[in-house]
Amino acid sequence: MAAEIPTRLPKLTLRPAEEADVPLILAFIKGLADYERLAHEVVATEDKLQETLFGEHPAAEVMLAFWEGEPAAFALFFSTYSTFLARPGLYLEDLFVKPEMRGRGVGRALLAYLARLAVARRCGRLEWAVLDWNAPAIGFYETLGAFAMDGWTTYRLTGEALERLAEA
């Protein structure tokens, strides 16, 4: 089992995910998708997560949070790079705290860990996206000092459009 990382909350422990955690990671992904009203978009499987998170070329890292030994939350993140800063960064793809675990400092502890990791890795930034309607998350992030990037719009290529461009 991966080494636990101490937190300031005596009932909370954090640790990096390992291969045996793939079913738990998928459960967290599905929980997040339900919360975001996007369950219909989840095509992740245990096999795909096993390959992409713990295979030959891991694409992301996962931190797990446990409250009194019970799974409470996860954060999935990966490295980025800023050409303007000429420094690496971390991108938080997903952060999900189970509804019954909210309000205990679990999400804050995960973000604080990622901030420490970003500083240790000499990153210039820690970034993430939040749905416009998610007022509780936006309010929470702003209490940490995070701010919205005005003037930027996220674009995405998927499916047939991605295939067409790849073939061009």
Name residue, tokens 């101490």.
6
Pairing of strands 61-67, 126-128: unpaired
CA pair distance 3, 77, nearest whole angstrom: 18
First to last CA, the chain: 46
Alpha helices in the chain (DSSP H): 22-35, 46-54, 106-120, 135-143, 159-167
* 139, burial (CB in 10 Å: exposed 0-12, middle 13-18, buried 19+): exposed
Has 91 been annotated as catalytic? no
Catalytic residue among 35, 91, 141, 155: 141
Name the residues annotated as catalytic.
Answer: 141
